A and B are shown apart, each in its own frame.
Chain A
Amino acid sequence: MAGNSPVEAVRKVRSIIGPLNIPDSEAEAQSALEALRNGEAPTPQQLTALEIVVRLLRPVVLLRNGQLDDLPETTNRDLRPVELKDAWSKFQTIAKQYVGSVGRIEDARSRHVGTGFVVGAGLVATNRHVLAVLSSGAEVLAPGAGRIVFKQEYLATNSAADIAALVEVVAIHPVKDIVILRADTAARMPVAFVDGVPTAGANIVTIGFPGKDEANNPLFLTSVFDGKFGVKSAALGEVLDGTAASDIFHDCSTTQGNSGSPVFVVSTGQVTGIHRSGYFMYRNEAVSSAEIRALL
C-alpha cells in the first residue's frame, strides 16, 4: 500500500458532486459540467456559472443555536421548486430535536476526525474508518483517545456539557463501514431510523462537520462551504440512481470531516443511512440505517 492503508485512503475521499442535471436556464453551467465530464477544461466564465449553480442547487447551510439556517436565496434564478422550500421549512422543525445529537469526533489532540450521532442512550454511530484513526488501527479505544463535541457551531463556544469522551467500542460491523461507540450522550435524542432506502431523486440531508479537503475537491470547495470548515453544517442533496439494498448513493456536498454523518430524509426527518465515502463529481456513498440497527 506504499504507506497508504485502505482506511487512510477512504478517510481522504469525500466529495462535492454537484447536481446531475442542470436547469435549462443555466446554459453556461451545463457547458462547464459537460466539459468536466468529458475531461476538458471549461472556460473560467463557464466554471464560475457552474460554481454558482452547485452552491445553489446543493447548498450547505450552517446550524446556529441548534437551528438549521434557511436555504440560500436563488434570486433571479429559478433553481429551486417551491415544494422543496416548503419541505425544507418542515425539515427545519422536525430536525431541531435531532441536530444536537450530531457531534464532531476528535482525536486525543482535539483534531477533527469525523462525525458521529446518537443512536441510543449512551451510543454513538460513526464510520469504522473513523475509529481506525482514533485507535491507530487497533479498533480499541484507549482512555482519552477520542471525544465527541455535540455543538461545534460556527462562531459559537462549546461548553463542557457539549463534550463527551468516547469510552469504548460497543460494536463493529463485520463488513460495512460502521461502528457503535459508547459515550455519555446525556439527554440527547437518538435519531429516528427509517426502514428501506429512498428512491433516486429523493431529497436528503447530511448533517456533519465538513473539513477543508482541497485534494479531493479541486473545485467549488470554498464557494460551496463559504470557507466555513469544521463546524456543524447541513448539506442538501438527492439520492442517486444505483442506490440499492444497503448502499445509498447521494450528492450532498460532503468532505473528509463528514465521515459518519447521518443522512436524513427531508420529508420525514428520519435517518436513512450513515455517510461513508465519495468521489468528486460522481457520487457519495452511505450505508443504509438498517445496517446500523443491526448493531444495536
Chain B
Amino acid sequence: MGAQTKPSDPVVVTFEQISKAIGSDEAMGNLGEASGRDATIDPVQKATIMAGVGNVLRMLQDAERTAGAKVLTAPHDARAARLQSLVASGEAANLRYAALPSGGLEAMFDTNDWSGWATVVWEKLKHLIPHPMVRPKTDVAASLPDKCRIAVLGDWGTGLYGAPKIGAAVRQDRDPFDLLLHLGDVYYSGTSSEVDQRFLEIWPTRRGAINRALNSNHEMYSGGDAYFGRTLPAFGQEGSYFAYQNSQWTLIGLDVAYKDHAIDDEQVRWLTEVVRKAGDRKIVLFSHHQLYSNLEKEQGAKLWSHPGFGELLLSKRIFAWYWGHEHRCTVYEAPDTNFGIWARCIGHSGMPQSRDLTIGLSRATGPAYERADWRFCPAVTVEGNPLPRAVVLEGRNEFIIGEEDKFTPHGYAVLNIDGVHLEEEVRSATGEVIYSKRLV
C-alpha cells in the first residue's frame, strides 16, 4: 500500500489504467461516496467535479485515440493531469510497472482499498490553491555577452523518447552555451517527483551557462508548487519571468501560464519598463504558450487582448518570439502582418505529436529545407491576423520505439547571437542542424 519504490524510468499512464482507476464500477461508486461525505462544498460544485471526471475520461480516451499508441499523452486539463500524476505516483494504490516498448513504464493500477483511493482522488479533483506567483525583484535586465549562444528546449519534461537524446546533445555540444532555456511543461502535472525525475535530474547543465525555466500549463496543473519551489531555486532563478540583454538584444522570458494562456497586469508593467530600458535593442520574447497557431484551434487571444500587452504587440516592437505548447516545430517564413513578429514554435523536445495534421502537407522546397522533412503550411489569417507561410517539421520519430511512423520528430533550437546578428538553428534530437537562418 502507498507509494512504491521509485521506478527506474519515467511512468506512462494509459487510458486503460486511468479508466480502471477512476472509471471502474468500484471507483465510480466510491467517488460518489466520497462526494457524499464531503460537506465542504455545495451541490453545484459537486456536480462540476463529477462532470469534470467524466470529461477527464473522455479527454484521455480521445488523446490516446489520436496518438494511436500507448505513449505519454497529456490533454490540456488540470484534473486529467493531476489524476495522471496521482496514478503514476502510486499514492494510495498498489502499483506495478510494465515496460512499454515505445519507452517508459506503464503504471498498472490496482487497489484493495477503493474507499481510501476514492477519498484521495476526490481531493485531487477539487480546486487547488495555486502557489503565489514569484516575480523578479528588478526590471533591469541581466547581462549577456554580445556574442552568446542559447539552447531552447520546449515541452521537454517527459524524460522519455527524444528528450534524453536532446539532453545528451546539449551536454555534449562542442561549443559553449551561455543560456539553457526550457519553454516549460513537465508531465503530467509538474509535481515534485515529476519535476525531479523528468526535469531537474536530467536537465543538461553546462559549465558557465545560465539555466532558466518558463512556467507552463502542465506545471500549474499541480498548482505550480514544484515549479516555484524546486525548479526556480535549483536554477537560481528569481522569478517566473526574466530579462537578459547585451548591447544589441534584449531577451525576455514571460510567464503566460500562471494565468492560463494570459498575462497579468503587473507583469505587463514590468515588461513595458524592460522594453523602455532596452532602447534601440531588438526584443526577443520566449514563453510557453503561443501567440497564435496555424494548425491548432487554440490561439493567444487573451494575450493580444490585454490592453497594455496588445499595445506593445501592435507597436511592432517585438522582433521575434519563440514559444512551445504545441508539440511541433513551426517556423514562419516572415513576420506576421499585425504584430511584425518572427514567430517560431519549438515545442517538439519530448512529447509524442501525432502526424495527423502535417503528414498531408506538401514537402517544402528550397535549399533551406533540404536537411529534413519540412512541410509548407500555407499562409492563413487567424482572428484577423494574416500569418505568412510557415514550414513545419514532419517525418517519423525514431525515438518512439515501435511507433516511429505515428509521431513527428523531436528536436530543439539553438540561437547564436553575434553583435547585431541573430542566427537560429533547428537541431535534431541528436544535435544535427536541420535548418538554419540568419534573421538579421
| In the bound complex, CA of A9 to CA of B30 (Å) | 6
| In the bound complex, CA of A12 to CA of B30 (Å) | 9
Given contacts A9-B28, A13-B25, contact A2 B52 (CB under 8 A): no
Q: How far is the CB of A129 from chain B (nearest CB, A)?
A: 9
Q: Which of chain B's residues 91-125 have a Cβ closer than 8 Å to chain A?
A: 113-116, 125
Residues in A whose Cβ lies below 8 Å from that of B32: 9, 12-13, 215-216
Q: Decide: B52 and A4 in contact? CB cutoff 8 A.
A: no
Q: Decide: A281 and B25 in contact? CB cutoff 8 A.
A: no
Q: Does B57 contact A (CB under 8 A)?
A: yes
Stretch at the interface among A38-46, A161-169, A184-192: A38-46
Q: How far is the CB of A291 from chain B (nearest CB, A)?
A: 16
Q: Does A277 contact B (CB under 8 A)?
A: yes
Q: Decide: A13 and B54 in contact? CB cutoff 8 A.
A: no
Q: How far is the CB of B45 from chain A (nearest CB, A)?
A: 6
Write the chain A residue with the least CB distance to B49: A39
Residues in B whose Cβ lies below 8 Å from that of A36: 47-48, 51-52
A 1-38 binary contact with B (CB < 8 Å = 1; else 0):
11110101111110000000000000000000001111
| In the bound complex, CA of A38 to CA of B53 (Å) | 9
Q: Which of chain B's residues 1-48 have a Cβ closer than 8 Å to chain A?
A: 23, 25-26, 28-30, 32-33, 35-36, 43-48
CB contacts between A and B, total, < 8 Å? 102
Q: Does A170 contact B (CB under 8 A)?
A: no
Q: Does B277 contact A (CB under 8 A)?
A: no
Of B48, B115, B116, the contact of A39 (CB 8 Å cutoff): B48
Q: Decide: B50 and A218 in contact? CB cutoff 8 A.
A: yes
Q: Does A143 contact B (CB under 8 A)?
A: no
Residues in B whose Cβ lies below 8 Å from that of A280: 47, 50-51, 54
Q: Which of chain A's residues 258-296 have a Cβ closer than 8 Å to chain B?
A: 277, 279-283
Q: Decide: A281 and B26 in contact? CB cutoff 8 A.
A: no
Q: Decide: A281 and B114 in contact? CB cutoff 8 A.
A: no
Given contacts A1-B114, A1-B115, contact A37 B30 (CB under 8 A): no
Residues in A whose Cβ lies below 8 Å from that of B49: 39
Interface bin, chain A: 20 to 34
Q: Decide: B29 and A282 in contact? CB cutoff 8 A.
A: no
Q: Does A144 contact B (CB under 8 A)?
A: no
Q: How far is the CB of A179 from chain B (nearest CB, A)?
A: 16
Q: How far is the CB of B23 from chain A (nearest CB, A)?
A: 7
Given contacts A2-B116, A279-B53, contact A10 B47 (CB under 8 A): no
Q: Decide: B48 and A282 in contact? CB cutoff 8 A.
A: no
Q: Decide: B25 and A9 in contact? CB cutoff 8 A.
A: yes
| In the bound complex, CA of A10 to CA of B29 (Å) | 6
Residues in B whose Cβ lies below 8 Å from that of A281: 47, 50-51, 54-55
Q: Decide: A282 and B30 in contact? CB cutoff 8 A.
A: no
| In the bound complex, CA of A216 to CA of B43 (Å) | 10
Q: Does B79 contact A (CB under 8 A)?
A: yes
Q: Does B437 contact A (CB under 8 A)?
A: no
Q: Does A219 contact B (CB under 8 A)?
A: yes
Of B46, B51, B127, the contact of A37 (CB 8 Å cutoff): B51
Residues in A whose Cβ lies below 8 Å from that of B47: 36, 218-219, 280-281
Write the chain A residue with the least CB distance to B116: A2
Q: How far is the CB of A132 from chain B (nearest CB, A)?
A: 13
Q: How far is the CB of A255 from chain B (nearest CB, A)?
A: 12
Q: How far is the CB of A242 from chain B (nearest CB, A)?
A: 7
Of A2, A218, A283, the contact of B43 (CB 8 Å cutoff): A218
Q: Decide: B115 and A6 in contact? CB cutoff 8 A.
A: no
Q: Decide: B114 and A4 in contact? CB cutoff 8 A.
A: yes
Write the chain B residue with the least CB distance to A3: B115
Q: How far is the CB of B314 from chain A (nearest CB, A)?
A: 30
| In the bound complex, CA of A219 to CA of B51 (Å) | 10
Of B23, B33, B52, B78, the contact of A9 (CB 8 Å cutoff): B33
Q: How far is the CB of A209 from chain B (nearest CB, A)?
A: 20
Residues in A whose Cβ lies below 8 Å from that of B52: 36-39
Q: Does A105 contact B (CB under 8 A)?
A: no
Given contacts A215-B35, A215-B36, A242-B61, contact A4 B54 (CB under 8 A): no
Write the chain A residue with the least CB distance to B61: A242
Q: Does A239 contact B (CB under 8 A)?
A: no
Q: Decide: B54 and A279 in contact? CB cutoff 8 A.
A: yes
Q: Does B259 contact A (CB under 8 A)?
A: no
Q: Decide: A40 and B29 in contact? CB cutoff 8 A.
A: no
Q: Decide: A9 and B26 in contact? CB cutoff 8 A.
A: yes
Residues in A whose Cβ lies below 8 Å from that of B53: 279, 282
Q: Does B269 contact A (CB under 8 A)?
A: no
Q: Does A149 contact B (CB under 8 A)?
A: no
Q: Decide: A4 and B115 in contact? CB cutoff 8 A.
A: yes
Q: Decide: B45 and A41 in contact? CB cutoff 8 A.
A: yes
| In the bound complex, CA of A40 to CA of B44 (Å) | 9
Residues in B whose Cβ lies below 8 Å from that of A47: 44
Q: How far is the CB of B126 from chain A (nearest CB, A)?
A: 9
Residues in A whose Cβ lies below 8 Å from that of B30: 4, 9
| In the bound complex, CA of A11 to CA of B33 (Å) | 12
Q: Decide: B55 and A38 in contact? CB cutoff 8 A.
A: yes
Q: How far is the CB of B250 from chain A (nearest CB, A)?
A: 37
Q: How far is the CB of B35 from chain A (nearest CB, A)?
A: 7
| In the bound complex, CA of A97 to CA of B49 (Å) | 42
| In the bound complex, CA of A280 to CA of B29 (Å) | 11
Q: Decide: A277 and B48 in contact? CB cutoff 8 A.
A: no
CB pairs A–B below 8 angstroms (15 shown): A1-B113, A9-B25, A9-B26, A11-B29, A13-B29, A13-B32, A36-B48, A37-B51, A37-B54, A39-B52, A219-B47, A279-B28, A279-B50, A279-B53, A282-B51
Q: What are the 5 tightest A-B residue pairs by CB atom distance, in nearest-first order?
A: A9-B29, A282-B54, A2-B115, A281-B51, A39-B52
Given contacts A1-B115, A12-B32, list 15 more A-B pairs with CB under 8 A.
A1-B113, A9-B25, A9-B32, A11-B29, A12-B29, A35-B48, A37-B52, A39-B52, A40-B48, A41-B44, A215-B36, A242-B61, A279-B28, A281-B51, A281-B55
**A interface residues with partner B (beta carbon < 8 Å):** 1-4, 6, 8-13, 35-42, 47, 214-216, 218-219, 242, 277, 279-283
